[in-house]
Every structure is written in C-alpha cells, then in structure tokens.
Amino acid sequence: MTIRPLVILPDPLLRQVSKPVERVDDDLRKFADDMLETMYDAPGIGLAAIQVGEPLRMLVLDVSEKDEPKNPQVFINPEIVSRSDEPNVHEEGCLSIPDYYAEVERPARVTVKYIDLEGKERLVEADGILATCLQHEIDHLNGVLFIDYLSKLKRDMVVRKFKKLAKDRQPARMVG
C-alpha cells in the first residue's frame, strides 16, 4: 500500500468532473487500498479519488468512532438516488482544504446506489455523519467543494488564503 500525495486547493484538478470506473479489477482494488491508507494517514474520514489526482468516480470513507473497530468502505460510481427534505447542519472540513472548517447544510438522509469492490451493485440508506460524508465526497466527483456552499465573501477569503500558501510553497527563483 502506498500513501499518495494529496491535491490541495487551489489545484484546478479539484474542479474536474471525474469519469465513471469501467472495470473493477485488482488494479482498482489496489488503488482503493492506497486511498484508504492515504485517508487514515492524513487523518480523515473520507477521500475521493480526485484528491489523490485520479479523476475516477470512486471514494473511500470510514465514519466509525475512535473507540469502535475500523470500518473502511469503498464506493464505486456512487449516485444519490434520493434525498430527504429535512436538512441537517454539520461542521465540515476537507483534506484538500487543510485546517479550515465551516458549517454546511445538506439533506439529512440520502439513498446512494454504488458498486462495491466485488463489482456488485448496492444501495445504502445513510443518515447522520455517513450522509454528510457521502454527499461531500460525491460532490468531489463533480468538481464541487464544501466551500461552494458558503457565502461568496467567505469562499473568496479561503481561496485567497490557499493561493497565497501555494505561492509560498514554491521554491524561490535564483537571481543572477
């Protein structure tokens, strides 16, 4: 298993729409392991493939509590098939936008259709943190970030901050 480097805002990859996975094979299962290891290492509770630079419709998550056994889950070609009218507000963060958190309102419950690592089609009815996490990660597959739900003022502030951080990370040019 390999820990992969994370794609960080304002990398334009984060705005790319990911393509459906066409075949579930050993290469894909290996990639899912890499994604999980990268997520646990960060640490985070969810990760979309695009966040490690692969524009595939695939995500991993583990929303188990600290005192519970690990519960890694892999969702391939996930699709929200129904949403509750009732909303839920949850504080969200993102491994691609480190150390920034904000409250986001989303449907409290969603039903998601997906393919598992055996290539079988499955359906999950999610609520609570699982519903929030699934919606956040599925957004990534469509190039949408949680800061898109904030006011333009807040979003611009975050983007500006991360543009500056990215600039500071670049090595200084040699002069002369």
Q: Which is nearer to Zn ion, 24 or 52 (CB)?
A: 52
CB of 162 to Zn ion, least distance (A): 13
Q: Which is nearer to Zn ion, 104 or 108 (CB)?
A: 104
CB of 51 to Zn ion, least distance (A): 7
Helices (H) and strands (E) in the chain, counts: 3, 7
Query: Residue 45 carries which DSSP code?
Result: S
* Phi, psi at 155, each rounded to 5°: -65, -45
Q: Is 90 annotated as a binding residue?
A: no
Please give the residues from 59 up to 98 whose contact with Zn ion meets the rule CB under 5 A. 94
Which residues are 76's β-sheet partners? 58, 115
Q: How far is it, in rounded angstroms, from Cα 131 to Cα 84?
A: 10
Question: Pick the catalytic residue: 68, 92, 121, 137?
Answer: 137
Catalytic residue set: 137
Q: Which residues form the interface with Zn ion (CB under 5 A)?
A: 94
